[in-house]
Amino acid sequence: MTGGKTEPIQVTRRGRHPEADDRSEEQAIIVGFDAEWVDASHEDHDLPPDTSNRILSWQLFLLNPNTGRSCGIFVEPKSAHKASRKLLKTLIGQVVSKALKGGVLNRIPSRVILAAHFTRADLSTLRDFTNIKRKVDAVRTTYATTTKPLFVRIPTDQGEAPASVRIVDTMLLSPSHSQLAALGEALGLPKIELPDGFSKERMDLFLAADRDSFITYAMTDAKIAARWTARVLKIVREEMGVRRPCPTLGAVAVEMLRHEIEAAGLNVSAFEGRRRGKKGGKPQPLPNLVGKWNFAAQCYHGGRNEAVSVGYSPEEREIYDLDLTSAYTTALAMIREPNWSTARYTTNIAELATVEAAMTFALVKFRFPPETRIPSLPVRASNLRGLIYPIAGESWCTGPEMVVALAQGASLEAKEGLRIDWIENSPRVFEAFTRKINAVRAAAKEGGDTVLDQTAKEVGNSGYGKVAQGVAGLKTIADDIHPRRIFNSRSERMQDLGESGITQPMMASYTTGLVRAAVSEALAAMGPDEWLGTVTTDGFLTTVPVERVDQTGVVARAFVAARARITPQNPAIWEEKHREQSVSVIKTRGTVSCTPEAQKPILAKAGHKLEGKFATRAEEARAFMDLIRSRDYDTRLRTKGLISLRQQHLNEADLTTVTRNARANLDFDFKRKL
Amino acid sequence: MNPRDVDGLLTANTTPWQAIEEFEEARDGLEAWKKSTRSVLKTVADYQAMTVWLEGADAHRAAGTKIGNRLGPLTSAVLKIAALGELGMRRVPDAELAAHMTKLCGVAVSTTKVWNARRRGKTAFEMLGTFTKVGEADKAFLARLYRTYPLMLRHVILRLLAPGSEALRQLDKLMIEEDERELERAHREWLDDDDGWFFAEECFITGSKEANSASVGQVTNPGEAKDLDLWSGAASFGSVACAIMDPIGHPTATDRVVSDTAT
């Protein structure tokens, strides 16, 4: 916890702007931050329910990544009253003072990265939360500084100096839903388990009973946050080539992609079909793409999701859960540099129905042969009911989907169409990005670091997410996909999620179309005797084993070629995720394993959360099956959750728990006809 | 699709929808059924109950009545038409109409209900050709109507049913079944002891020009107007109209529609 004794320190008083150091080789100081409290909404009888949590302690762990030295502090409030809470700068000042004394730092740092696991919880324990909350950004239910950092004057016992404080949340720098304990395991710094008889809800009892163990427990959390942040930033810098400190994995992906585009000798704006105006500002679409931009966005849909059967899988047949390997990153990797000057409207199906020759989009009138089991052209339903695949209709679709439909014998008539050719033999910049991600993943897997593997995977998937961010808002004809609304913590208003630095509607629509086409092509090739349970974005549940999935189709061959370029040693495009003896399909994204003693049972709960905790996944699957059998119209699922960020922010509330009663909606959704 | 229960849960294969509209209708139907009957779709029995309910719901929508109504939708439609004296039916006092409808429906129809029927729901013109299915609640009413006032079946009910719909087929079936029952009790004077059933048919339908001119105004093609003339001729048979109808070789509802169209 301490950095050891050193000679007296020369504290440098700094007068210039703290961000001036941003380009220096010296890395920012990382401070892990954590707080412990007693939840105001606990259900024990000893304390009256209240809206304010009772803060027990703050712990900060300072890590100097330039030297590897570190130190920590454990701070307790003088009383349970809100006025006794500490200011952020006071706490940072205290840990910096200790670091200066201990030789961990030789001067007051000008750049600090404040890392916590779920910053929303920890920042709200501070006295100046009211001031801080409008100076940080709300990102995915938590806080981080994605735009401007916080500027604070750090008070130490050796003087005061200004510093920029970037807030990062380790939840945003790790795979989604990662627990702090998992990060600790990956770091070889296991989170301390609470002794028997104590619970998270009543940490005050633990503090009173065993103060030393409490301090060890609390300090470990702050250490994990600091060390995980340092580790991710190091990997991002050294292996992914991103020098800027990124607050989220999505930001890492954007930086990586920009870097790859530039490394290929291309201009980022030109690659995306944009150019900067004479007066500068945000790059805008090229003049010849006006209108076409929105046309492509109209063909942007999510993945194919539907329940093809309902109820139990056939007896005595094995069920395979198959996935398209790295579906979105592979699809992205097929993109070359577009020749934007060739963007043109056409209704010629021969020009539009293509997989790799160009990016094509169309509004087609279609009809599949009546006996078609799995049609492949999407039609968007109303009321957030997703994509439906009917026998006939009109579809905003992409070239690869048209290719699959024609192969199924469908008759197509293009009412409108758009084609953009590639520049011949131009580089596939996303392929280099995917290859780099795969290299990090391979090294992580080799070292047995599953969390890092998942983190790298998330960066890869975020690449696609960032290309598609805000595309729904570009649609001229509003449909079922609405632009995502987010809470802007700085303006304290709701707003549409805007475009990212690399949003490109044509590439986003083409990528999603490729994945849907690959899945539909494999489904269409299935024999009539094969059972098909559900289709979920980039995979499906079936009686067909992975080695018998058809890969002779045009889209499958394009995927095989892409996989061969990315991972020559393993060009397989389908992989088996689970194998089951029996499953029950409830609805889209609702499947439960009914295999007794399944090691890794399938459990997709259709967006529901079960009450209580389960020792194993198999136990949870059984409980979910019991719910399905016993439910009636009034069945509700009582779940405990956290107060929403918006609610907490606007009410300046502590992070408290709230109980929700959601109706169990587990009826077949009729995406296909019974 | 072989829907069946396996271990107490609905199990079935599926086929694609023909068009997106089919899906929207089915999904809206599911939601409406769940909400209205406070049910969930768990077993084959639930699925069948939903299907039956939806058939009734379609008809209620056509009649503009509520699903919880004790009268079937077609029955409600007839009550409304009779209460307003439309489609050539002569308007009778509410109390008299309520009494007749009570006997025909097997459900107490009060004068308030007659009064409400007059002011609620869709107009007779809006209901023409809109009923696609005949629900269980209407079948008993239609059977009694067929036995007692077959002309009404032809001149009112048939015009309410959608051409080529399942409802016409259901009506055919119902008439055939009734004819077979009639054969079985061929020599029984089953209506004799029920004085209330022998009220004159002309109390419901009239051949007067005034009444017909009102209804002709709602007819959209000359064939229908001619049909009304024929019907007014039939009405002149008065109370013997049903007695002279020969159940054997009785034309089906579809035949009637075809012949009417040809005329």
Q: Kindly list the residues from chain A whose CB atom is less than 8 angstroms away from the CB atom of residue B42.
A: 628-629, 631, 667
> Where is average pLDDT lowest: A182-196, A222-236, A312-326?
A182-196
Residue A648 located in a structural domain: no
B197 at interface of A, judged by CB pairs closer than 8 A: no
Q: Is B16–A392 a contact, with Cβ atoms under 8 angstroms apart?
A: no
Q: Residue with structure tokens 């991002």?
A: A236
Which of B3, B8, B34 is nearest residue A674 as measured by Cβ atoms?
B3
B40 at interface of A, judged by CB pairs closer than 8 A: yes
CA dist A268 and A262 (Å) reads 7
Q: Residue with structure tokens 């339908």?
A: B205
Residues A301 and A181 in one domain: no
Let me know: does A655 contact A42? Beta carbons within 8 Å: no
State the average pLDDT over residues B196-207.
44
Is residue B206 pLDDT above 50, yes or no? Answer: no
Let me know: does A405 contact A321? Beta carbons within 8 Å: no
CA dist A601 and A385 (Å) reads 27
Range of the domain at A163: 18-247
Which of B12, B18, B39 is nearest residue A311 as measured by Cβ atoms?
B12
CA dist B133 and B138 (Å) reads 10
Q: What percent of chain A has pLDDT over 90?
A: 62
> Where is average pLDDT lowest: A85-89, A195-199, B247-251?
B247-251
Residues A351 and A451 in one domain: yes
Mutation for testing the B interface, residue in A383, A633, A670 having most B CBs under 10 Å: A670
* pLDDT, mean over chain B: 73
Tell the burial category of B22 from Cβ atoms under 10 Å away from its Cβ (0-12, 13-18, 19+): middle
The pLDDT, as a whole number, for residue B187 is 57
Q: Determine the residue type at A338.
A: P
Q: Kindly list the residues from chain A whose CB atom is less than 8 angstroms away from the CB atom of residue B14.
A: 307-310, 672-674
**Would you state the torsion angle of the CA atoms of residues A575, A580, A584, A585, taken in this order, to the nearest 10 degrees?**
0
The pLDDT, as a whole number, for residue B198 is 41
Alpha-carbon distances of B186 from A661, B140, B147, B201, B247, rounded to whole Å: 63, 20, 13, 22, 10
Let me know: does A6 contact A69? Beta carbons within 8 Å: no
The pLDDT, as a whole number, for residue A8 is 44
Residues A124 and A239 in one domain: yes
Give, as one character, the DSSP assignment of residue A526. S
The pLDDT, as a whole number, for residue A24 is 55
Residue-wise DSSP of A193-209: PPPTT--GGGHHHHHHH
Task: Name the domain count of chain A.
Answer: 2
Residues A301 and A238 in one domain: no
Is residue A401 helix, strand or coil? helix
Q: Is B18–A392 a contact, with Cβ atoms under 8 angstroms apart?
A: yes
**Nearest-Cα residue of chain A relative to residue B47:** A674
User: Residues B85, B91, B94, B100: is their CA dihedral positive or negative?
Assistant: negative
The pLDDT, as a whole number, for residue B68 is 66
State the average pLDDT over residues A19-48.
70
State the average pLDDT over residues A584-612.
89
Q: Tens digits of per-residue pLDDT, A59-109?
A: 999 999 999 999 999 999 998 888 889 999 999 999 999 999 999 999 999
Q: Tens digits of per-residue pLDDT, A241-252?
A: 888 878 899 999
Mutation for testing the B interface, residue in A530, A667, A668, A669 having most B CBs under 10 Å: A667
State the average pLDDT over residues A426-432.
92
Structure tokens at A117: 């696991």
Give B154 or A403, the one with higher predicted confidence. A403
Q: Can you point out the beta strands (E) in A39-149?
A: 54-64, 69-75, 111-116, 137-139, 142-144
Q: Kindly list the residues from chain A whose CB atom is less than 8 angstroms away from the CB atom of residue B34.
A: 633, 667
Q: Could you tell me which residues come within 8 angstroms of residue A236 by beta carbon, excluding any fewer than 6 positions away?
A: A242, A246, A252
Let me know: does A69 contact A103? Beta carbons within 8 Å: yes
Residues A300 and A366 in one domain: yes
Residue-wise DSSP of B115-162: HHHHHSS--HHHHTT-B----HHHHHHHHHHHHH-HHHIIIIIHHHBP
Residues A242 and A337 in one domain: no
Among A585, A602, A620, where does a domain finish? A585
Is residue A25 pLDDT above 90, yes or no? Answer: no
Q: Residue with structure tokens 């409600």?
A: B76
Bridge partners for B11 per DSSP: B4
Give B133 or A588, the one with higher predicted confidence. A588
The residues spanned by each domain of chain B are 71-262
Residues A63 and A151 in one domain: yes
The pLDDT, as a whole number, for residue A481 is 66
Residues A492 and A410 in one domain: yes
Q: Is A381–B8 a contact, with Cβ atoms under 8 angstroms apart?
A: no
State the average pLDDT over residues A321-326.
93
Q: Is A632–B47 a contact, with Cβ atoms under 8 angstroms apart?
A: no
Residue A628 located in a structural domain: no
Q: Is A670–B38 a contact, with Cβ atoms under 8 angstroms apart?
A: no
State the average pLDDT over residues A525-544.
94
Let me know: does A393 contact A360? Beta carbons within 8 Å: no
Which of B12, B24, B26 is nearest residue A310 as measured by Cβ atoms?
B12
Structure tokens at A614: 């389960």
Is residue A154 helix, strand or coil? strand
Structure tokens at A485: 């609304």
CA dist A129 and A649 (Å) reads 9
Give A518 or A54, the one with higher predicted confidence. A518
B1 at interface of A, judged by CB pairs closer than 8 A: yes
Residue A658 located in a structural domain: no
Residues A312 and A201 in one domain: no
The pLDDT, as a whole number, for residue A38 is 87
Is residue B207 pLDDT above 70, yes or no? Answer: no
> Where is average pLDDT lowest: A111-120, A284-293, A366-375, A474-483?
A474-483
The CATH code of the domain that includes A103 is 3.30.420
CA dist A670 and A306 (Å) reads 9
Residue A143 located in a structural domain: yes
The pLDDT, as a whole number, for residue A480 is 66
A404 pLDDT tier (thresholds 50, 70, 90): very high
> Where is average pLDDT lowest: A150-159, A301-310, B182-191?
B182-191
**Nearest-Cα residue of chain A relative to residue B3:** A674
CA dist A65 and A635 (Å) reads 53
State the average pLDDT over residues A18-30.
65
Residue A562 located in a structural domain: yes
State the average pLDDT over residues B135-140.
82
Let me know: does A339 contact A416? Beta carbons within 8 Å: no
The pLDDT, as a whole number, for residue B148 is 87
Region of A353 please: left (phi>0), alpha (psi -120 to 50) or beta.
beta
Q: Is A393–B20 a contact, with Cβ atoms under 8 angstroms apart?
A: yes
Residues A310 and A442 in one domain: yes
Residues A231 and A140 in one domain: yes
Q: Kindly list the residues from chain B whose CB atom is less than 8 angstroms away from the CB atom of residue A392.
A: 18-19
State the average pLDDT over residues A323-341.
94
The pair phi, psi for residue A341, each rounded to 5°, is -70, -15
B9 at interface of A, judged by CB pairs closer than 8 A: yes
Q: Tens digits of per-residue pLDDT, A632-645?
A: 999 999 888 888 89
A to B CB pairs, distance under 8 Å: 102
Among A536, A562, A585, where does a domain finish? A585
Which of A381, A667, A669 is nearest residue B24 as measured by Cβ atoms?
A381
The pLDDT, as a whole number, for residue A648 is 87
- Distance of residue B9 Cα from the nearest chain A Cα, in angstroms: 6
Mutation for testing the A interface, residue in B24, B28, B34, B42 having most A CBs under 10 Å: B42
Chain A positions with Cβ closer than 8 Å to B: 307-312, 368, 372-375, 379, 381-382, 385, 388-393, 584, 628-629, 631-635, 666-674
Residue A70 located in a structural domain: yes
CA dist A256 and A432 (Å) reads 10
The pLDDT, as a whole number, for residue A453 is 86
A41 pLDDT tier (thresholds 50, 70, 90): low
Residues A240 and A252 in one domain: no
Is residue A585 pLDDT above 90, yes or no? Answer: yes
Q: Kindly list the residues from chain B whose CB atom is less than 8 angstroms away from the CB atom of residue A368.
A: 16
CA dist A368 and A410 (Å) reads 4
Is residue A314 pLDDT above 70, yes or no? Answer: yes
B227 pLDDT tier (thresholds 50, 70, 90): very low
Q: Could you tell me which residues come within 8 angstroms of residue A316 by beta carbon, excluding any fewer than 6 positions away?
A: none
B241 pLDDT tier (thresholds 50, 70, 90): very low
Residue A9 located in a structural domain: no
CA dist A300 and A401 (Å) reads 12
The pLDDT, as a whole number, for residue A9 is 44
Q: Tens digits of per-residue pLDDT, B14-58?
A: 999 999 999 999 999 999 899 888 999 999 999 999 988 887 777
Is residue A395 helix, strand or coil? strand
Selection from A287, A488, A477 nearest residue A396 by Cα: A477
Q: State pTM to two decimals.
A: 0.78
Is residue A173 pLDDT above 70, yes or no? Answer: yes
CA dist A401 and A352 (Å) reads 10
CA dist A457 and A186 (Å) reads 16
